[in-house]
Amino acid sequence: MSVFFKVSEVVEMAVLIETNGEAFYRFLKESARDAQTKEVFAHLAGEEKKHRATFEQMGESLEKYQPVESYPGEYAAYMKALADDNVFTQKDVGRHMAQKAASVPEAVNMALGFEKDSIVFFEGIRRCVSKSEHKAIDRMVEEEKSHIAKLEGLKKTLAGGA
């Protein structure tokens, strides 16, 4: 059975990723014991909230855009593969995943994986949206990269290397 996505559905997946990311970071902020860790997770939760709003706004203007494909269903298959590999596209999974982390360092490692997966997903989305939306996607990819840098810094601090 083939699965086909409309661009609006891909954007809905991005909204869900950001919603789950926000819940993930908010839970980690609430359970963090030191101020620096709380601050990093609070910042990341706020960023995810902003990203969600950006994608929601994009979704309002994407209904009629159709990506150029090499063969019918190419991008639907590609985005489905990305979505299947990105656990944050499952509804209400953010807090649940955060609860699974046995320690802050483990949570940071999970977060690094999610941020990297998000970059790959957003780069896939970029190819599915009109050129007028590319700058917004590019900005979010850059922000995800800055999240990785923040998480790497936190990881070094937790390991006693900062």
Q: What CA–CA distance (Å, rounded) separates 99 from 24?
A: 9
Q: Provide the pLDDT for residue 127.
A: 75
Q: Of 24-38, 57-71, 88-102, 134-148, which one has max mean pLDDT?
A: 24-38
pLDDT of residue 6: 59
* Under 8 Å between Cβ of 76 and 8: no
Does residue 116 lie in a domain region?
A: yes
Residue at 1 is within a domain: no
% of the chain surpassing 70 pLDDT: 78
13 located within any domain? yes
126 part of a folded domain: yes
- Which domain covers residue 59, as residue numbers? 7-158
Mind listing the pLDDT tens digit for each residue in 54-101? 878 877 776 555 667 787 777 667 766 766 666 666 777 788 888 888
Q: What is the Rg, in whole angstroms, of the alpha carbon atoms belonging to the chain?
A: 16
Question: pTM for the complete prediction?
Answer: 0.74
Q: What are 77's two structure tokens?
A: 């298959």
Q: Tell me: pLDDT of 1 over 70.
A: no
Residue 36 lies in a domain: yes
Region 114-124: mean pLDDT is: 85
CA pair distance 157, 153, nearest whole angstrom: 6
Residue 117 has pLDDT above 70, yes or no: yes
Considering only CA atoms, which of 149, 152, 158, 146 is closest in space to residue 34?
Answer: 158
Give the per-residue pLDDT at 67: 62
Residue 2 lies in a domain: no
> For the residues 36-46, what does the mean pLDDT come to?
91
Q: What is the CATH number of the domain that holds 121?
A: 1.20.1260.10
Q: What is the pLDDT of residue 12?
A: 77
Largest CA distance in the chain: 52
Q: Is residue 70 part of a domain?
A: yes
Domain count, the chain: 1
